[in-house]
Amino acid sequence: MTRAEQDFAAWQRWKHDPTPTNMGLLLKQVENLIEDKVREYRGVNVPPQSIRLVATGLAAKALAEYDPDRTGFGGRRAELATYLHNPLKKVGVFVMKHQNVAKIPVHRKKEIRVFKMAKEEMTERLGRPPDTIQLADHLGWSVKQVMRTETELRQDRIASWEEPAGLDTADEERDEEILTYIAQELTSDERLVFEYSTGRGGRPKLQAQEIARIMGKSKPWVSGIRRRIDVKLSHRGL
């Protein structure tokens, strides 16, 4: 079989049985196109992991919309490599938007994520936002560190830079294609918590307590699922 025939066979397998596993195999089949796009932007100050994830999300969305009867010319079926060329151009939009923004160090991004999660959990438990001392005690941080993080979170640069990932940092307009692919890597429970936490999949955006009630689970269980999702996203380099 030619490479084009192998690509199409992988697409047919997914079309016949559209599971996350088959989408993963299909994306693996066209991985060379995704990596070409990552290499194209080598040297820009945007993490290659982020470029790869954006390209993968765009590819997943395009492959799901591929129609061999409509995408060809002159009665011929368009090869997947040719078909994906235009959708993957959108990677450039992402890179242009972020390459001139100063990057927050990875360790600070993780601290901010932990801080937000702790604050949300304490707010739900107390019925009000925790004060600085309560947050410091809960996190095991100094009061000064908590105050510094609060100050940073009020600055626009944090909100505008945080890259696609994290249940509490998703930007719908910017990350739609990315989150489409992320959702396919989650278990059914994780996907449901993800959708309720972010308002994706046509579901309302809910707090952990509300998600627990709907799913018939405890609030700590939901918080654990959210942390597990966050770990998966962190392993993506985000």
Domain range list for the chain: 3-98, 106-235
User: Using one digit for the tens of pLDDT, what is the confidence trace for 170-182?
Assistant: 444 435 545 555 6
Distance between CA atoms of residues 20 and 187, nearest Å: 10
Residue 228 token pair: 């597990």
Output the pLDDT for position 92: 86
Output the pLDDT for position 143: 85
| 90 contacts: CB under 8 Å, gap ≥ 6 | 54, 58, 177
Asked whether the predicted pLDDT for residue 151 surpasses 80, the reply is no
Number of C-alpha atoms within 13 angstroms, CB side, residue 136?
A: 11
Asked whether the predicted pLDDT for residue 198 surpasses 90, the reply is no
Q: Quick one: what percent of the chain has pLDDT higher than 70?
A: 74
Output the pLDDT for position 162: 36
DSSP states of the chain as a string? --HHHHHHHHHHHHHHS--HHHHHHHHHHTHHHHHHHHHHTTTSSS-HHHHHHHHHHHHHHHHHH--TTTS-STTPPPPHHHHTTTGGGGHHHHHHHHTTSPPPPHHHHHHHHHHHHHHHHHHHHHTS---HHHHHHHHT--HHHHHHHHHHHTSHHHHHHPPS-STTT--HHHHHHHHHHHHHTS-HHHHHHHHHHHT-TTPPP--HHHHHHHHT--HHHHHHHHHHHHHHHHHTT-
Q: Is the pTM of this model over 0.85?
A: no
User: Using one digit for the tens of pLDDT, what is the confidence trace for 48-90?
Assistant: 877 888 888 889 888 988 888 775 545 567 788 888 988 898 8
User: Using one digit for the tens of pLDDT, what is the confidence trace for 102-126?
Assistant: 455 656 677 787 888 888 888 888 8
Which carries the bigger pLDDT value, residue 228 or residue 221? 221
Residue 90 token pair: 């959108």
| Window from 32-36, 68-72, 208-212, 225-229 with minimum mean pLDDT | 68-72
Q: Quick one: what percent of the chain has pLDDT higher than 90?
A: 11
Instruction: Name the pLDDT band for 12 (thresholds 50, 70, 90).
Output: very high
Output the pLDDT for position 35: 92
Output the pLDDT for position 169: 42
Output the pLDDT for position 167: 44
Distance between CA atoms of residues 97 and 109, nearest Å: 19
Asked whether the predicted pLDDT for residue 32 surpasses 80, the reply is yes
| Window from 125-129, 132-136, 174-178 with minimum mean pLDDT | 174-178
Angle formed at CA 163 by CA 155 and CA 60, multiple of 5 degrees: 155
